[in-house]
Structure 1
Amino acid sequence: MRQRFLNAVFLSCATVSALQIPFLGPLIPQNAITKKPLVSSEAIQADISSKALLKRAKELFKIAELGIDEYNHPTRVIGSKGHLATLDYIYSTLASLGSYYTLTNQTFPAVVGNTFEYRLVLGATSPNSTQAMSLTPPTADKEPVFGPLVLIANDGCDASDYPANTTNAIALIQRGTCPFGTKSALAGKAGALAAVVYNTAEGSLSGTLGTPSKHHVATFGISRADALPYMSSLQNGTVIDSSAYIDAIVQRIATTNIIAQTTAGDAANCVMLGGHSDSVAEGPGINDDGTGTLTLLEIAAQLAKYDVRNCVRFAWWAGEEEGLLGSDYYVSQLSARENLKIRLFMDYDMLASPNFAYQVYNATNARNPAGSEQLRDLYVEWYAAQGLNYTFIAFDGRSDYDGFIRNGIPGGGIATGAEGVKTAEEKDMFGGSEGEWFDPCYHQLCDGVENCNLGAWEVNARLVAHSVATYARSFEGFPARTGVKGNSAAERALYHGPKLVM
C-alpha cells in the first residue's frame, strides 16, 4: 500500500499541474452497496469513541517521530518524513475500505520555511518582543548585518515612503494598510539590509511574509511599546547603530492533498469537509491538526458502513501552516461547474484543546456565501440539544475555509481554541483555567497525545459525524448554489492561515 501511494505521488510530482490520480479499489458488486442502510446521525454518532480516536493519535505521534532525524524532534511539517508518512497513513487507511471512495492525490508546488536562529540589536538593546517573520529570508550570507536604524514614512506601502538613506540601513516600518510581504519587498528594493515591522496594536507581532519574493529582506516583528523609544530618538535626529541576524531557509517543494469522495450519492450535490495533514516545524501537531485529520479519517471509515444520497467528499490539506497552500490550490483548480457541485465546505481544525471551549465560527449569510449561516446554526442546535454551552468566534480567514468562501462556496466549522486566552465567563461555561491559552501547547513541541482533551474530542467528533450524516441524507432547506462569485468580506482579512499577513 505504501508503494502505491508513493508511486502516485511520484507521478504527480512529475507533472505538478496534474489534478487527479484516482485509485479505484477492488470492485464490489453493486447489490452489496445498495443493501447498506442509509446513514443516520444517530447511528454514525454511536460509532464514534474516544478509544478509537486515542489509538489513532498514538499512531500519528509515532509517525511524527520520523521527523527527528532532520529536525531533532517530532514534526509533520510539509517536506518532512513525518508528513510524507502522514499522507501514507491517510491514503492506506482509505484504500483499505475498497471501492467505497474514489481517492485522488493532488500534488502542487509549495513553499516551506524554517528559522534556526535570529537576533536583533537596536542601539545598545535587543527588544524583548523580537520575533522573526515566518518565511523570512536570512540576512546576507546568514551573517549579522550592521547599519543605522531608519524610520520609514507612513505605513511603508509605497516606494516613496522609503528615504534615500534606507540603503544599507535597517528599516523600521509601521504595521498597517498592506501586507508584511509588501513592506519587506519595498524595503529590499530601497536597499535595506533588514526590516523591522512594529505593531500598532497591543502585544508582540508574529506574522508571515507570504509568497516569497526576490526582493524580500530579513524581516522581524516587534511590539509598539518596544518601538516607541527608538521612534522618539530617530525623530529627534539621534543615530541608532543597529545589527540584525537571521539564519533561515525558504525553499520550494512539492506536497500533496488527499481527496476521498464516496462513489455513491449525487455527485452534483456534494457535502465537503476538510482538515490539514501538516504540522508546524516546531512540533508533532497532534491537536493542531492531528485531531481534525484523525476525526475525518475515523468518520470516513465508519461512513463506509452506510449508503448516502448526496456524495461526501473528504479532504486532507497540505501546507495549511504555511498559509492555506493546499486548500487555496484546490479551489483555484476547480472549474465553475465543479465549484458549483460543492454545496458547502466544513472546516475542522483543532478539536481537542486541553483548556477547550466549544467554538463555532460566526459565519453569517450577510458576510459570507448563502448557506454559511445555516451551517453555523446546525452546530448551535446540536450543542444546545446536548445541553452544552458554545461560543461564537471570528470567521476571519485563519483556516482552510478561506479559499472556499472567497469563491462563493458556503463554509463554516468548529474548533476548541488556540492561543486565545480563556475568560472568566468561558471558565464558567466550559471549566478549565481562566487567563490561560485554550491550547498552551499551540505550535509548540508539547503538542503531543497528552495535549488532547479526549472528552472534548469525542463530543466534537460526534458533531462532525452529525454534520456529515445530515447533509449526506438531504440538503432540504439549504440554499441552492447560484454562482461562484468571490466574497468581498474576506478580501481584506488580517489573516490568511494561522499567521497575520498584514
Structure 2
Amino acid sequence: MKSVLCVVAFSTLAVSSVIQQSPESRKPLVSSAALEHDITSKNLFKRAKQLYKIAELGVEEYGHPTRVIGSKGHVGTVDYVQNTLSKLAHYYDVSNQTFEAVTGNILNSSLTLGDDLLPASAMSLTPPTKDKAPVNGPLVLVANLGCDESDYPANTTGSIALISRGECPFGQKSANAGKAGALAAVVYNNIAGNLSGTLGQPEANHVATFGITLEEAQPYITDLKAGKDIPASAYIDAIVKVVATTNVMAQTRGGDQDNCVMLGGHSDSVTEGPGINDDGSGTIALLEIAVHLAKYKVNNCVRFAWWAAEEEGLLGSDYYVSQLSEEENLKIRLFMDYDMLASPNFAYQVYNATNAVNPVGSEELRDLYTDYYTAHGQNFTYIEFNGRSDYDAFIVAGIPAGGIATGAEGVKTEDEVALFGGTAGDWYDPCYHQLCDDLTNLAIDAWEFNSKLIAHSVATYAISFDGFPKRIKTPGVKRNKLRQSNYLYHGPDLVM
C-alpha cells in the first residue's frame, strides 16, 4: 500500500514539474538590455521596404503609393501586421476591431481671387464644388470669425465667403457659409504660417472649403473693406466616403492580465503619400519589438495596438477606448504613443505630459523617456501634449499616457540645431503628409535609437509597476481643463 502511494506521489510531482517547465516558463524574464539589443536599423529598414511595396498597392486607384484607409495599401498593411503576429500565436492573443470611418480624397482643386491663382489647400473631408465644376461669384468678407450665422451678410448668397480662422471649428464655419448660400468658403489663417485643416464629420451644409495664409488674404481683406468688388472662382473635385477599416491588437498570453502596459501607433497614411515615416516608423518599430518580445517572459501583460484612421481624426483609437468597460479600462496601467520616430530633420521630442492636467502617471512616463535620453548622452526637448495623436482618447478616459516623436511640420530652430544638428528654418519632416514620405525620408540612426527607447519602455513596465501610480476611478476629470483651453487639434490636422 505504501509503495502505491509513493508511485502516486511521484506521478503528481512529475506532472507538476512538466507544468512548471512549460516552454513559456523556461524563457528568461525580459530585460531592457536584452530587448534593446534585439533592435537593429537593418531589420527596421528591411520592414520599411516591405511596407513601401504594400503602399504601392494603392497606385492603381490613387495614382501613387498610399496606405490611406479604404485603399489596398492600408488593407495590405493590416494583413502584414496580422500575418506577422499570427506566427506568434503561442505568445499573443491577436484580435481586431472593424468599424466604419469617413475618408476623403481630393482629386483636384484651384482657387482664383481677382486675377490671382492662389496656392490654396483644400481642407480635409471637404465636399466638392457643385457638380465637381468651377463655381464663380463675388468674394464676400464675413464678419467676426464666422462662428455665428448672423456673421454672414445678406450678399453671401451666390458668393465665395472669406472667413477668419479662430474660436470655432472649420466645419462649423463651412456649414454656416453653406446655410448662408455661399458657393464655397475660404478660411484664412489668423497667425503666420500655412493653414491645412479638416472639416471633420461631414454634414449637409458643408461647402467646398479652402485654407490660405494671412499674408495671402490680407490684400483682399483690405480691398473688400474699401468697398472694392473682387470676382472669385473656386473648384474642388473630391470624394468623401464611408469605409470599413480595422484596428489590430496583440496581447501577451503571459503576465498579469489585470495590469497591462499598452502601446500603439497608427497603421494608416494620408491619401497624399505612402507614410513611411508617418507612421510607418511607429508601425514597424512596434512590430519588430513585438516579434522579439516573444523570446521572453513578462510579469505584466503587454498589449500592442495598430490603429486605423488616425489620419482621419484619431478614429481607431477613439473607437477602441469607447468600447472599454470600466473594468477593462482600469486594467490598462498606461498607454504609450509612438507616432513619427524617424523624421529627417529630427529633434528628440517628449510629450510634456504632466500630472497637473493629465491622469496621474503621465508625468512618471514622461520622466522615463527623459531619463533614458539623459543616460545615453542625448539631448531632448518637450513638446505640447495637445491631442494630435492617438494618446488623446486614453487621457480623456483617465488612462495615463505619453510618448515620443521626432517632429512633423514644425520648423526647427537655431537652438534645436545646436542640440540635434540638422537645418534651421526647415520642417522636422520636410515630406510630412506628402508623396516624398518614402524610403528616402528616414533618419535611420534616430529611428533605431528611439526604437530601442520603446523597447526599454516596454521591458520596464513588463517587469514591474513598482513606484508607478495605481489607477483611480475618476476618468478624464483633469483632462477636461485642457480640453477647454485653445484645443486646436483632434488628430494631425487643425480643427479650428
CA distance in 1, matches of 2:469, 2:150: 48
Whether 1:318 and 2:320 are equivalent positions in the alignment is no
Whether 1:363 and 2:353 are equivalent positions in the alignment is yes
CA distance in 2, matches of 1:171, 1:30: 72
CA distance in 2, matches of 1:440, 1:166: 38
Whether the 8 Å contact between 2:409 and 2:428 is mirrored in structure 1 is: yes
Aligned to 1:224: 214
CA distance in 2, matches of 1:29, 1:301: 24
Q: Of the candidates 480, 486, 490, which is equivalent to residue 488 of structure 1?
A: 480
Whether the 8 Å contact between 1:68 and 1:74 is mirrored in structure 2 is: yes
CA distance in 2, matches of 1:300, 1:211: 34
Aligned to 1:266: 256
Whether the 8 Å contact between 2:397 and 2:475 is mirrored in structure 1 is: yes
Aligned to 2:389: 399
SS at match of 1:192: coil
Aligned to 1:7: none
Whether 1:342 and 2:342 are equivalent positions in the alignment is no
Note closer, same or farther for the CA distance 1:198–1:266 as it changes in structure 2 (3 Å cut). same
CA distance in 1, matches of 2:156, 2:319: 36
**Cα shift readout 1:429-463 (whole Å, capped 9, x = no counterpart):** 11222222211111111111221111111111100
CA distance in 2, matches of 1:339, 1:431: 41
Aligned to 2:30: 39
**Cα shift readout 1:391-425 (whole Å, capped 9, x = no counterpart):** 11111111111111111111110111112222222
Whether the 8 Å contact between 2:110 and 2:118 is mirrored in structure 1 is: no
> What aligned pairs does 1:459-470 form with structure 2 within 5 A after superposition?
459-470=449-460
Deviation at 1:189, TM superposition (A): 1.4
Whether the 8 Å contact between 1:64 and 1:75 is mirrored in structure 2 is: yes
**Cα shift readout 1:9-66 (whole Å, capped 9, x = no counterpart):** xxxxxxxxxxxxxxxxxxx998221111111111111111111111111111111111
SS at match of 1:451: coil
Deviation at 1:123, TM superposition (A): 2.2
Whether 1:143 and 2:133 are equivalent positions in the alignment is yes
> What aligned pairs does 1:45-64 form with structure 2 within 5 A after superposition?
45-64=36-55
SS at match of 1:273: strand
CA distance in 2, matches of 1:362, 1:283: 29
CA distance in 2, matches of 1:351, 1:221: 28
Q: Of the candidates 422, 426, 430, which is equivalent to residue 436 of structure 1?
A: 426
Whether 1:382 and 2:372 are equivalent positions in the alignment is yes
Whether the 8 Å contact between 1:264 and 1:307 is mirrored in structure 2 is: yes
Aligned to 1:10: none
Identity %: 68
> What aligned pairs does 1:23-422 form with structure 2 within 5 A after superposition?
31-128=22-119, 130-422=120-412
Structure-1-length-normalised TM-score = 0.92
CA distance in 1, matches of 2:494, 2:27: 46
Deviation at 1:484, TM superposition (A): 4.5
CA distance in 2, matches of 1:29, 1:108: 41
SS at match of 1:202: coil
CA distance in 2, matches of 1:85, 1:41: 32
**Matched AA of 1:50:** S
**Matched AA of 1:399:** S
**Matched AA of 2:109:** Y
Aligned pairs, number? 474
Deviation at 1:236, TM superposition (A): 2.5
Deviation at 1:466, TM superposition (A): 0.3
Whether 1:500 and 2:494 are equivalent positions in the alignment is yes
SS at match of 1:34: coil
Note closer, same or farther for the CA distance 1:360–1:264 as it changes in structure 2 (3 Å cut). same
SS at match of 1:368: coil
Whether 1:473 and 2:467 are equivalent positions in the alignment is no
Deviation at 1:485, TM superposition (A): 2.4
CA distance in 1, matches of 2:421, 2:152: 51
**Cα shift readout 1:234-287 (whole Å, capped 9, x = no counterpart):** 223222221111111111101000011111111111110000001111111111
**Matched AA of 2:23:** A
Q: Could you say which structure has the larger radius of gyration?
A: 2
**Matched AA of 2:91:** Y
Note closer, same or farther for the CA distance 1:135–1:331 as it changes in structure 2 (3 Å cut). same
Structure-2-length-normalised TM-score = 0.93
Whether the 8 Å contact between 1:64 and 1:74 is mirrored in structure 2 is: yes
Deviation at 1:179, TM superposition (A): 0.3
Note closer, same or farther for the CA distance 1:104–1:117 as it changes in structure 2 (3 Å cut). same
Note closer, same or farther for the CA distance 1:29–1:210 as it changes in structure 2 (3 Å cut). farther
Deviation at 1:163, TM superposition (A): 2.1
**Cα shift readout 1:278-314 (whole Å, capped 9, x = no counterpart):** 1111111111111100000010011111111111110
Whether the 8 Å contact between 1:257 and 1:315 is mirrored in structure 2 is: yes
Note closer, same or farther for the CA distance 1:263–1:212 as it changes in structure 2 (3 Å cut). same
Note closer, same or farther for the CA distance 1:204–1:354 as it changes in structure 2 (3 Å cut). closer
**Cα shift readout 1:441-496 (whole Å, capped 9, x = no counterpart):** 11111111221111111111100000000011111111111125221144242011
Deviation at 1:102, TM superposition (A): 0.7
SS at match of 2:429: coil
CA distance in 2, matches of 1:210, 1:307: 43
CA distance in 1, matches of 2:171, 2:122: 13
Aligned to 2:14: none
Deviation at 1:125, TM superposition (A): 2.0
Note closer, same or farther for the CA distance 1:29–1:489 as it changes in structure 2 (3 Å cut). same
Give the unaligned 5+ runs of structure 2: 1-18
**Matched AA of 1:246:** I
Whether the 8 Å contact between 2:388 and 2:492 is mirrored in structure 1 is: yes
SS at match of 2:22: helix
CA distance in 1, matches of 2:298, 2:291: 14
The alignment's C-alpha RMSD in Å is 1.4
Give the unaligned 5+ runs of structure 1: 1-27
The answer to which of 399-408 and 483-492 deviates more is 483-492
